[in-house]
Amino acid sequence: MPSAVQRVFETCKEVFADGGPGIVPSPDEVERLRSVLDAVMPADVGLSPSLSFFRDVGTGGPPPVTYLHLYECPKFSIGIFCLPQGAVIPLHDHPAMTVFSKLLMGSMRIKSYDWVNDPRGSGSNQRIKSSTGVCRSMLCRIGGVCMKY
């Protein structure tokens, strides 16, 4: 039986086979990949709370954000982001990409935004809308480990 990470890889190969920039997988494909990601556990990728990354190493500050590269091809990439407790990731964009994430350990708070057209009809798409209104910048507070696909 293939490992959980191998199942993620194989499912991504199938789901993104006909993909490209700006092409979103069908709802059935999204659900299929989501169910595979739901089955991934920290131990499947060698993570445990006892790893030195998750402990204070006496440097006076949190450990750095670490990225573990697992796979990349023109259609998709698979990697693991290790973020120390209290880490903040600046507002950023993933143009023409569909991002699937799986929180493996810890907790996180995410805010996401969509581009909106200027209601006055000027054609400007430079504002970002959240559930609480329009804003110009935002930081996401992240703690734990996030697997990004």
Domain that holds residue 106: 4-148
Question: What residue type is 101 in one-letter code?
Answer: S
Question: What is the structure's pLDDT at 34?
Answer: 94
The torsion angle over the Cα atoms of residues 106, 92, 57 and 108, rounded to 10 degrees, is -10
Q: What is the mean pLDDT of the chain?
A: 75
User: Could you tell me which residue, 55 or 93, shows the higher pLDDT?
Assistant: 93
Domain count, the chain: 1
* Rounded mean pLDDT, 69-86: 88
Place 149 in a pLDDT band, splitting at 50, 70 and 90.
very low
User: Could you tell me which residue, 73 or 147, shows the higher pLDDT?
Assistant: 73
Whether 111 and 142 have beta carbons less than 8 Å apart is answered as no
Q: Where are the beta strands (DSSP E) in 5-63?
A: none
Report the phi/psi class of residue 133: left, alpha or beta, with left for phi > 0 and alpha for psi in -120 to 50: left
pLDDT at 148 > cutoff 90:
no
In whole angstroms, what is the distance from residue 49 CA to residue 106 CA? 9
Place 90 in a pLDDT band, splitting at 50, 70 and 90.
confident
Q: Which pairs from 99-102 meet CB under 8 Å and 24+ separation?
A: 99/148, 99/149, 100/33, 100/34, 100/37, 100/148, 100/149, 101/146, 101/147, 101/148, 101/149, 102/37, 102/38, 102/40, 102/146, 102/147, 102/149
pLDDT at 65 > cutoff 90:
no
Question: What is the structure's pLDDT at 27?
Answer: 92
